[in-house]
Amino acid sequence: MLSTITGFDFFSRQPNDGAARESVGLMVIRAYHLSRGDHHRNLFFIPISAYGINPANAAMCGKKIVAVGTDAKGNINIEELRNAAEANKENLDALCFPKTWAEISPSTHGVYEEGIDEMCKIIHDNCGQVYMDGANMNAQVGLTSPGFIGADVCHLNLHKTFCIPHGGGGLRMGPIGVKKHLAPFLPSHLVVPIGGIPAPDKSQPLGTIFVAPWESALILPISCT
């Protein structure tokens, strides 16, 4: 059901809430680049309007942050993004579309950015990946989806998206969805096959992220209903 809603091919329900789900998503992208011999790709593009956790997670994952400006309306400056991507094509790792407190992704300032598909294409044309912070995806459902827009990785906070108010306490869960080419790099598990991978594999780039194969699985019936 999550794949249908988001447009992604595979999901990993292993990441928990908080910074974990974003860190796992960035590590999946890193593992993908490493598998292609692109060890040098470490430039992570983030709009200057981003929520603080986005650049913080990227820095903790070894990324070098490249800030991208916005226009007079608060939208990401597409031409600045294009110029930066083309100038750094050899080292471009990924672009992050950050979360929004206004609950309307994908835009920090709460307005849908009509040029987002063009921005995704710019990044892909320059050999990068697109990470979308899907913490607040409610407004997209039934209208569009991260996968349709062009994102390669996105997480969902199931403790507030389709579920309970943020900060309501109790269990939390932050699964990540990915396009097919990133599926082999999702977290694995030593005991239980998870994440769309046929069987657990000790040589997986990420290995086991959390001991519990589906993390806070008891929240799923709430999200489902």
pLDDT along the chain (225 residues), means of 10: 89 76 88 91 89 81 90 88 96 83 49 85 96 77 86 84 60 83 86 60 66 75 69
Predicted confidence at residue 78, as pLDDT, reads 93
Closest by CA to 134, choosing from 92, 174, 77, 184, is: 174
Spatial contact of 109 and 102, defined as CB atoms under 8 Å apart: yes
Looking at the DSSP bridge assignments, the partners of residue 154 are: 132, 177
Predicted confidence at residue 102, as pLDDT, reads 36
CA distance 190 to 222: 28
Predicted confidence at residue 150, as pLDDT, reads 92
Predicted confidence at residue 109, as pLDDT, reads 62
Spatial contact of 173 and 2, defined as CB atoms under 8 Å apart: no
Count of beta carbons in the 10 Å neighbourhood of residue 150: 20
Predicted confidence at residue 114, as pLDDT, reads 81
Predicted confidence at residue 45, as pLDDT, reads 94
Can you list the domains of the chain with their CATH numbers? Answer: 2-224 (3.40.640.10)
